[in-house]
Amino acid sequence: MNFDPRYSTRSFASVGTRPIRPDGVDKVTGRARYGADFNMAGQLVGRVLRSPHAHATIRKIDTSKAEKLAGVKAVITAADLPDLTDGDAAMYDILDNCMARKKALYDGHAVAAVAAVDARTARQALKLIEVDYEVLPHVVDVDEAMKHTAPLLNDAIFTEGLEEKPTRPSNITKRTQFGHGDIHEGFGQADFVVERSFKTEQTHQGYIEPHACVASVSSDGTADLWVCTQGHFVYRQHCAQLLGMEASKLRVTSSEIGGGFGGKTHVWAEPVALALSRKAGRPVKLVMTRDEVFRASGPTSATSIDVRIGARKDGTITAAEATLRYSCGPYAGMWAEIGAMTAFACYRLENVRTVGYEVLVNRPKTAAYRAPSAPMAAFAVESAVDELAKEIGMDPVEFRIRNAAQEGTRSSYGPVYGPIGIGPTLEAAKNHPHMKVPLGKNQGRGMACGFWFNFGGQTCTDLNIGMDGSVSLAVGTVDVGGSRASLSLVAAEELGIAYEQVKAVVADTSSLGYNDMTDGSRGTFSSSMATISAARNAIKILRERAAQMWDIPVDDVVWEKGHTIAKGEKYGNLAALSLREIAAASGKTGGPIAGHSELVADGAGVSFATHICDIEVDPETGATRVLRYTVVQDAGKAVHPTYVEGQYQGGAAQGIGWALNEEYIYGKDGRLQNPGFLDYRIPVCSDLPMIDTQILEIPNPNHPYGVRGVGETSIVPPLAAIANAVSNAAGVRMTHIPMSPPRILAAIVAERGG
Amino acid sequence: MAGVAVSTTINGDNVEYLCQPDETLLDVLRDRLGLTGSKEGCGTGDCGACSIILDDRLVCSCLVLGAEAEGRRVETIEGMAHGDTLHPLQQKFLEHAALQCGICTPGFLIAAKDLLAKNPDPTEEEIRFGLAGNLCRCTGYDKIVRAVQDAASAMKGA
C-alpha cells in the first residue's frame, strides 16, 4: 500500500481533545483482567525454585522426591528445555536466564520449576528438590567486575570492539565508541575544563503487577498463552523458538498490563510455564511473587561514568568526552552503547567522543527501563555541564541554550537532526514561572535536559467497519498507558466521525499480523501511523461503494467529515452519504468494509525535555524534600494531552525515586538484601508535590499529524536535575545516585572537613 | 488440612465459603470467590493494591486471613458502584485520567473512599498522607490527588 507519512499542517477535530479512555470503566470497577486475573479449567499452580547463590556451578539436581509428592503433576529443570537456539547467542542467553543450565549466575536465577494442584503443594515440592551447588566467587560491582582479578562469569567472553582480540577472557563483553572531531584539539581550546566521575546504583522498573501468565499446551502441539507483556508477538516468537513450536501454533493474548516500563519486554516465566504445561498436560498458571520480581526480573544497569567537558570563557563548549561502564547482569547487552549514544545528544559539539563498556556481573539480567541507559548518562553529563556553567560564571540555562543542538546539527551519535525541541524546551524553562519562585534556607534549584531517540518499528492494524457504521480498531501494540484512547481519537479524526463511534482493542497474535512490542515510546506513534493508513484504505473503499451507490465515477467522490460527497455541479442533487449509510448498504455493494495496514513506522522523531526542580535538604540528617517540579517536553503533537501529561509526570516521579531513594543493595554474599517494597522504597503520594507540565508541539516531519513518542524522555532529566538541586542546596557536588540521606550527610560532613 | 467454614458479608451479600486456615482473605476473594478486582502487588502489605474495607476499617486483604472475615462486613472494589452508576470517586478518576495502567486503581479507590468517609474535606496534605499506603508507579500521583479533591467537592455538593 502506498502511504505517505509526511506531516502536513492541518486543523484537528478529535486529536488534541481529552475524552475518557475506552478501557476506563473496567479499570475503576475491578472488571479489567490483568495477568493474574485469568483462569482456565483444570489449571495447575506453577512455582519456580531459585538459586540462593550469586554464582555457583550446578553439579546435580535431584527432583525425585518432589515428583513423588501427592498433587505434583510436573517438575522441570533445564533438561526439559533443551537447547534449540541453533547458535543464536542472544536466544541462548534468554534460555539460560529462564532456567539455569550449567551455572546459577545470580541470586534468584531459576534452576527448577514445579506444577502442582495448589500453591501449598507447589511450595512443598520446591523444598523437596535437591540441588548440589558448588559455590563460586562472585562479583556484583561494575568497576570491580572490570578488573583482571575479578571472578569470571563466562570464560568464553573476549571483549569485542577492541582493535585486537584480547588474549584472555574478561567480564567486559564489548567496547563501543561514538563521536566526531578531535577532542584533544577541542580541549586545547578550552579555558575551563570540568572532569568528574559518577556512579549510579541499580534500580527496578517497579511495576505494581508482578509477572503473570497462564499457559496451556495441547497434545496436538498447539498452545495458548495469556500473559501480561509489552509485546505478545515477540513473546510468541521467543517462546515458540525456545520450545520448538511453530509460531502460528502458539496464540498469545496480552492481558491488561499493570505497568511494564521496559520490564515486560523480556520472557522469563512464560517458557517455563509452557514447558510445565506441556509436561503436565494441563494448563499452568505462573505468577511471580514480589520477591521474585526483584530478584529475577527487571533491573536497570548500575553504572560508573567519567565525564570531561571543556569550554571557552564565552560559554562555547569546545570538547566533551565520557567513558561509560554499565552492568548487564550475567549476559551480554548493549546498555553502555545506548548510554554512550545519548550522553551528549542535547548539544551542538565540534569535538565529542564517548566510549561504552558492557560489563557482566552476578546480578539479574539487565532489562530495559524507560529510555534505558539514558538517565544515568544524562546524570553524569548534566551534572558536569552545571558545574562548568558555574565555573565560567554563566547561568546554567543560558549556558545550555548557547550550546543546544539545532536543526542541522550533527548529533554526537551520528545522525543529523531535523526539527527538534531542545532549544524550545530550554527557552520555555527559562521563562517558566517556576524559575522565579524565591528559595528559602537549605533549598536549591536544579535543572537538566534529556534526550531519547524514540522508535517506530513493525506495525499492523485492522480497521473494520460494522454494518451499523461503528468502527472496530484492532491494534497489535499493547496499551501501557492509554493508547487505546489516543488511537480511537486518531481513527475518529481520519474518518471524520465521533470518538465514541470507535472501539479499539489489542488483538491477539492469531488475529493480526506481527507487531513489534510497545517499547521505544512507539505505541501511539507507530500505531497511529498504521491507524491513519488503515483508515485511508477504508476511505478508499467507502468512496468506491458510494460511487457504486450513486453510479458515478469514483474520482468524483470525495471524503469529508465522515461523509462522501459527489464533486461537481452536475451532482448537485445528490445528498452526501454518511459512513453509516454506506456501511448499512455494504452487503449489497461488495461485502464488508475494512482498512488494513502493514508498515514499518520509520521516522520516529527524536524527543527532548527540560526539567526544573526545587529541593530542600536537611543538613542535620541529609533528608530531602521535593518542593516543586516542572517538566517541559516536546510531544510533536499531543494526541490526548491528559495522557501526555501523565507520561511526563510518571517519568518524573520514577526519576525522583531513582535519584533520591531506590537502589539494589547486595550483601557480601551476593544476595539481594531488599527484594520488597518495604526496603526498596518507591515514591509514595506524600513524598511528592504536584508535578507541573508544559507540552510543546514541534511537529515530527515524518508523521502525518506530527506525533512524536512521549513515554520515555521524562525519566531522562530527573536524576541530573535533582542532583543539581541537591548540590546547590547542600553546597557540595553530589556524584553518587541515589542521593539517600546517608550519602548526602556524608558529602556534607566531608565538605565541612569531617 | 481441614477447611474453615466462614460466613460473612461481602458488598452487602451474605457469602459462605470454606478456606484453609493459612489462606489470606485476598486469596479467598480472588481464587475462591472470583472477585479479582483486588490485586496482589506484593503480598506483604506494602503496596495497597489489595485494599478493602473490613468493618469500616481500611486493610490490606493480603494481611488478613480468610477465616478472620467470619461475621464481618467486607467491602471491595466490586461493590463500589451502584448498578451502572459509578461512585463519584470512580467518575472523577476517569475524568482526571488518574490511572494509566490501572492495576493500583481499585486499591486507591477503596483507600480514597475510606479517607473521605472519615474526612470529607481533606487538604492536599491530608490526601497525600491518607493515600501513602498505596503505591502507584505510573502517574506520579498528581492526577490521583486532583481526582480525590474533585470527588470530595462533588460529594459535599451532593
List of chain B residues whose C-beta atoms are within 8 Å of the C-beta of residue A20: 94-95
Contact B81 A29 (CB under 8 A): yes
* Contact at CB, A650 and B139, closer than 8 angstroms: yes
Q: What is the pLDDT of residues A204-252, one digit of tens each?
A: 999 999 999 999 999 999 999 999 999 999 999 999 999 999 999 999 9
- CB contact under 8 Å between A685 and B127, yes or no, is yes
The answer to whether residue B158 scores a pLDDT higher than 80 is: no
Name the residue among B41, B127, B131 with its Cβ closest to that of A209: B41
| Minimal C-alpha gap between A697 and chain B (Å) | 21
The single residue listed with the C-alpha cell 520488597 is A676
pLDDT confidence of residue A754:
64
- Choose, out of B78, B101, B108, B139, the residue to mutate when testing the contact with A (most A CBs < 10 Å): B101
Nine-digit cell at A429? 524553562
Chain segment A2-19, per-residue pLDDT in tens: 799 999 999 999 999 999
Q: Kindly determine whether residue B37 and residue A258, on different chains, have CB atoms separated by under 8 Å.
A: no
User: Is the Cα torsion angle A194, A395, A699, A406 positive or negative in sign?
Assistant: negative
For B94, other C-beta atoms within 10 Å of its C-beta total 20
Q: Provide mean pLDDT across the span B36-53.
A: 98
Question: What residues does A468 pair with on adjacent strands?
Answer: none
- B1 contacts on A by Cβ (under 8 Å): 120
pLDDT surpassing 90 at residue A190: yes
pLDDT digits (tens, 9 = 90+) for A404-453: 999 999 999 999 999 999 999 999 999 999 999 999 999 999 999 999 99
* Closest chain B C-alpha to A32 CA, distance in angstroms: 8
The arithmetic mean of pLDDT across residues B10-28, rounded, is 97
* A257/B138 Cβ within 8 A: no
Task: For residue B49, list chain A residues with Cβ-Cβ distance below 8 A.
Answer: 208
Give chain B positions within 8 Å (CB) of A482.
97, 100
Measured between alpha carbons, how far is A138 from A548 in angstroms, rounded to an integer?
74
Average pLDDT for residues A707-713, to the nearest whole number? 96
pLDDT score at A200: 98
Whether the ω angle into residue A738 lies within 30 degrees of 0, i.e. cis, is yes
CA atoms within 13 A on the CB side of A21: 32
Reported as type and span, the H/E element at residue A202 is: none
Question: Hey, are the CB atoms on B94 and A28 less than 8 Å from each other?
Answer: yes
In chain A, what residues touch B150 (CB-CB under 8 Å)? none
Contact B102 A120 (CB under 8 A): no
Q: Does A686 sit within 8 Å of B129, measured CB to CB? A: yes
pLDDT exceeds 90 at position A359: yes
Which of A30, A682, A690 minimises the CB distance to B137? A682
Q: Spell out the domain ranges in chain A.
A: 24-32+456-601, 418-448+605-754
pLDDT score at A573: 84
CA-nearest residue to A31 within chain B is: B37
Out of A210, A256, A259, closest to residue B138 by CB: A259
| Domain B4-79, CATH number (from 3.10.20.30, 3.40.50.261, 3.30.365.10, 3.40.50.300) | 3.10.20.30
Average pLDDT of chain A to the nearest whole number: 97
To probe the interface with A, which of B103, B145, B149 has the most A CB atoms within 10 Å? Answer: B103
A712: nearest CA partner in chain B: B138
- Which DSSP state fits A249? G
Q: Tell me, what amino acid is at A706?
A: G
**What is the least distance, in Å, from the CA of A731 to any CA of chain B?**
28
pLDDT of A142-162, one tens digit each?
A: 999 999 999 999 999 999 999
Distances (CA, A) of A751 to A74, A390, A617, A735, A742: 60, 18, 15, 13, 14
Assign A110 a pLDDT band (cuts: 50, 70, 90): very high
User: Which residues in chain B have Cβ-Cβ distances shorter than 8 Å to A34?
Assistant: 39, 103
Where along chain B do the CATH 1.10.150.120 domains lie?
A: 88-157
Contacts of B100 in chain A (CB under 8 A): 259, 480-482, 643, 646, 650
Let me know if domain A418-448+605-754 sits in CATH 3.30.365.10.
Answer: yes
Chain A nearest-CA residue for B142: A690
A614 forms beta bridges with A445, A628
Percentage of chain A beyond pLDDT 90 is 97
Contact B46 A676 (CB under 8 A): yes
Q: What is the pLDDT of residue A2?
A: 75
* d(C-alpha A208, C-alpha A256), whole Å: 13
Q: How far apart are CA A104 and CA A110, in angstroms?
A: 8
Cβ–Cβ below 8 Å for B100 and A480 = yes
pLDDT of residue A572: 84
Q: A-chain residues within 8 Å CB-CB of B77?
A: 29-30
What is the average pLDDT across A673-689? 98
* Structure confidence at residue A101 (pLDDT): 97
pLDDT (average), residues A125-147:
98
Residue from B141, B143, B145, B148 to probe the interface with A (highest A Cβ count within 10 Å): B141
Share of chain B above pLDDT 70, in %: 99
Pairwise CB contact (< 8 Å): B137 & A261: yes
Domain spanning B88-157: which superfamily? [2Fe-2S]-binding domain (1.10.150.120)
Q: Does the domain at residues A24-32+456-601 carry the CATH identifier 2.60.40.10?
A: no
Q: Across all residues in chain B, what is the average pLDDT?
A: 97
Burial class (CB in 10 A: 0-12, 13-18, 19+), A472: middle
Nearest chain A Cα distance for residue B106, angstroms: 6
Above pLDDT 70, what percent of chain A? 100
Q: Cβ of B42 and A258 within 8 Å?
A: no
Render pLDDT for A603-628 as a digit per residue (tens, 0 to 9).
898 999 999 999 999 999 999 999 99
Q: Which helix (H) or strand (E) holds A738?
A: none
Does the CB of B106 have a partner CB in chain A at under 8 Å? yes
Q: Is the pLDDT of residue A24 over 70?
A: yes
- For residue A30, the model assigns a pLDDT of 98
Residues of chain B contacting residue A653, judged by C-beta atoms under 8 Å apart: 139-141
Pick the residue of A18, A27, A28 with the most B CBs within 10 A to test the interface with B by mutation: A28
Residue B157 in this model has a pLDDT that exceeds 90: no
The shortest C-alpha distance from A364 to chain B (Å) reads: 19
At A57 the pLDDT is 98
Among A535, A528, A520, CA closest to A459: A528
Cβ contact A688–B140 (<8 Å): yes
Comparing CA positions, the residue from A320, A287, A326, A486 lying closest to residue A400 is A320
pLDDT in tens, A547-590: 999 999 999 999 999 999 999 889 988 999 999 999 999 999 99
CB-CB contact of A603 with A456 (8 Å): yes
Q: What pLDDT, on a 0 to 100 scale, did the predictor assign at position B1?
A: 66
